[in-house]
């Protein structure tokens, strides 16, 4: 059994965390795609509102995978290889496929309520929403292989997968899922054949799920993963729709400020990464007996918390510069305006997400549940909502 990079000091953790966060810069590419496709996103009121829901949902599923893999690698219950691995490894992958479909349906169902109340949609929009979301999430499953590979490589090289995997893959996932969503939206709105393509992709996922379920209905580990993950499913479905509603509010407030749209996916990525690092390292320490499940033990986790927070502040400054530069809007006044907005959002969002991640870690552990089935799914969906709310609050304060 190896404990990898768990016992590093502050500077070691800051270096490793900053390296992982560096990949969040790629989130600017996802944001730039959104900014350049605003015309498509505004063809229907649900198109822009569902964007953060899809990104969040993919992050939740990827976070569940990375959290479970990281802890399993430390405990030795999963080996760092694709073939001839443990039964636990393969059951986890199959459970994720089922969770992907269930999450998609739950998001679409909850979106009907939010859509009716806040977006201006009706029941007639549900088939379109369901087909677009399921198809996008089905394509996103290809990222599972990359997530697993990153976890294996980082573990073999002596890095801590709890710190590296989710931050790296959340950015890759944001770029990939944004591209998928943009393509699916264009197929849906502009191509008659596109609707058949979308339906075929979605149906393929449904068939795969109905193949997996009967084979695993008596597998204890598979059903445990599903039950514990489903316990957070409705919360996640609710929170991602809150995020979508807030993004519509931001959209109405900022109008055509492309630097805000460009930086937005990277911001929600970054706050989610802070929560992931804090929560995932806490769950591993709990599993190894290095941390007691109490709020008072948070002091022993302070190095992880403050290294993650410091790295996020550094990256927020970098993101502000790059977002303005990409859109050819950089000037001293525009930089000061944007960095003020982002730093206010950082303080609000990180404070909330650190407390939530740590609380979920210890509370689930004390109740005999697997924290990896709860921490990243809960904190990542909450992170997207709280970051969006923090950004909206900062925009209102600073303008």
Over the stretch 63-87, which tens digit does the pLDDT of each residue have?
778 878 888 888 888 888 888 888 8
Mean pLDDT is lowest, of 95-104, 171-180, 289-298, 321-330, for 289-298
pLDDT at 372: 66
pLDDT band at 1 (very low <50, low <70, confident <90, very high): very low
Q: What's the start-to-end Cα distance of the chain, in Å?
A: 52
pLDDT at 235: 78
Rounded distance between C-alpha atoms, residue 46 and residue 244, angstroms: 9
pLDDT (mean) for 173-188: 93
Residue 25 or residue 181, greater confidence: 181
pLDDT at 225 over 50: yes
Exposed/middle/buried for residue 22 (C-beta within 10 Å: 0-12, 13-18, 19+): middle
pLDDT at 269 over 90: no
Provide the mean pLDDT of the chain: 86
pLDDT at 17: 82
pLDDT at 19 over 50: yes
| Residue partners of 325: CB distance under 8 A and separation at least 6 | none
Over the stretch 307-357, which tens digit does the pLDDT of each residue have?
889 999 999 999 999 999 999 999 999 999 999 999 999 999 999 999 988
pLDDT band at 278 (very low <50, low <70, confident <90, very high): confident
Over the stretch 100-151, which tens digit does the pLDDT of each residue have?
999 999 999 999 999 989 888 889 999 999 999 999 999 999 988 888 888 8
pLDDT at 145: 87
pLDDT at 164: 77
pLDDT at 62: 82
pLDDT band at 2 (very low <50, low <70, confident <90, very high): very low
pLDDT at 3 over 70: no
Over the stretch 344-399, which tens digit does the pLDDT of each residue have?
999 999 999 999 888 888 888 888 877 766 776 777 778 888 999 999 999 999 86
**Whether the model pTM is above 0.75:** yes
pLDDT at 4 over 70: no
Residue with tokens 């768990």: 6
Rounded distance between C-alpha atoms, residue 312 and residue 132, angstroms: 33
Over the chain, what HEC string results?
A: CCCCCCCCCHHHHHHHHHHHHHHHHHHHHHHHHHHHCHHHHCCCHHHHHHHHHHHHHHHHHHHHHHHHHHHHHHHCCCCCCCCCCCHHHHHHHHHHHHHHHHHHHHHHHHHHHHHHHHHCCCHHHHHHHHHHHHHHHHHHCCHHHHHHHHHHHHHHCCCCHHHHHHHHHHHHHHHHHHHHHHHHHHHHHHCHHHHHHHHHHHHHHHHHHHHHHHHHCCCHHHHHHHHHHHHHHHHHHHHHHHHHHHHHHHHHHHCCCHHHHHHHHHHHHHHHHHHHHHHHHHHHHHHHCCCCCCHHHHHHHHHHHHHHHHHHHHHHHHHHHHHHHHCCCCCHHHHHHHHHHHHHHHHHHHHHHHHHHHHHHHHHHHCCCCHHHCHHHHHHHHHHHHHHHHHHHHHHHHC
pLDDT at 6: 53
Rounded distance between C-alpha atoms, residue 114 and residue 131, angstroms: 18
């Amino acid at each position: 059994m190896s404990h990898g990079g768990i016992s590093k000091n502050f500077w070691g953790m800051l270096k490793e965390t900053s390296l992982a966060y560096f990949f969040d810069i790629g989130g600017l590419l996802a944001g730039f795609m959104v900014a350049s496709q605003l015309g498509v996103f505004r063809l229907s009121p649900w198109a822009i509102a569902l964007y953060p829901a899809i990104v969040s949902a993919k992050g939740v599923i990827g976070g569940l995978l990375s959290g479970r893999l990281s802890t399993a690698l430390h405990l030795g219950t999963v080996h760092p290889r694709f073939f001839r691995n443990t039964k636990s490894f393969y059951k986890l992958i199959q459970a994720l496929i089922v969770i992907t479909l269930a999450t998609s349906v739950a998001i679409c169902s909850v979106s009907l309520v939010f859509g009716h109340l806040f977006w201006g949609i009706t029941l007639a929009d549900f088939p379109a929403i369901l087909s677009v979301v399921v198809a996008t999430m089905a394509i996103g499953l290809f990222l599972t292989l990359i997530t697993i590979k990153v976890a294996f490589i980082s573990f073999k090289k002596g890095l801590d997968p709890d710190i590296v995997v989710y931050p790296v893959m959340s950015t890759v996932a944001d770029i990939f899922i944004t591209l998928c969503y943009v393509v699916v939206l264009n197929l849906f709105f502009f191509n008659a054949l596109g609707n058949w393509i979308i339906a075929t992709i979605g149906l393929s996922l449904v068939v795969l799920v109905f193949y997996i379920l009967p084979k695993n209905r008596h597998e204890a580990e598979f059903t445990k993963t599903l039950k514990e993950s489903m316990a957070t499913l409705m919360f996640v479905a609710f929170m991602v729709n809150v995020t979508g509603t807030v993004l519509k509010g931001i959209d109405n407030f900022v109008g055509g400020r492309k630097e805000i749209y460009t930086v937005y996916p990277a911001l929600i990525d970054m706050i989610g990464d802070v929560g992931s690092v804090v929560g995932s390292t806490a769950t591993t320490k709990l599993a190894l007996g290095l941390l007691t499940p109490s709020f008072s033990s948070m002091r022993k986790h302070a190095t992880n918390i403050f290294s993650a927070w410091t790295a996020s502040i550094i990256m927020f400054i970098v993101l502000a510069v790059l977002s303005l530069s990409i859109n050819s809007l950089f000037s001293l006044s525009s930089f000061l305006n944007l960095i003020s907005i982002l730093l206010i959002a950082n303080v609000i969002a990180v404070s909330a997400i650190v407390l939530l991640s740590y609380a979920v870690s210890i509370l689930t552990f004390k109740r005999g549940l697997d924290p990896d089935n709860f921490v990243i799914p809960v904190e990542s969906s909450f992170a997207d909502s709280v970051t969006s709310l923090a950004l909206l609050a900062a925009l209102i304060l600073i303008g």
